[in-house]
Amino acid sequence: MSDEGVAIKRPEGGIVEHLCEHPGCTKWGSFGYAHGRAAPHWYCFEHQIEWPPAKKS
Ligand SMILES: [Zn+2]
């Protein structure tokens, strides 16, 4: 197992619990996606989203 694909760093000073945000999913959100200064969103491997979002041309 590896951590490849993790997009953001772990915050310092403690463990932050973050479960997958997919509706109805209770798995651990291993994949974090931060957009600008907004709070990061977390998804499990199964529900990980495309990141960065594909630019519309
Ligand atoms: Zn999920």
Q: Find the 3 Cα to ligand 1 centroid distance in Å.
A: 17
Q: Is residue 40 part of a domain?
A: yes
Q: Find the 33 Cα to ligand 1 centroid distance in Å.
A: 14
Q: Is residue 12 part of a domain?
A: no
Instruction: List pLDDT tens digits, range 1-57.
Output: 566 666 666 656 666 678 999 999 999 998 888 878 888 889 999 999 887 777 777
Q: How many domains does the chain have?
A: 1
Spell out the residues 6+ positions from residue 57 whose beta carbon is closer than 8 angstroms to its own: none
Q: Find the 17 Cα to ligand 1 centroid distance in Å.
A: 14
Q: Is residue 34 part of a domain?
A: yes
- Domain with 37 in it: 17-51
Q: Is residue 27 part of a domain?
A: yes
Q: Find the 28 Cα to ligand 1 centroid distance in Å.
A: 7
- Model-level pTM greater than 0.75? no
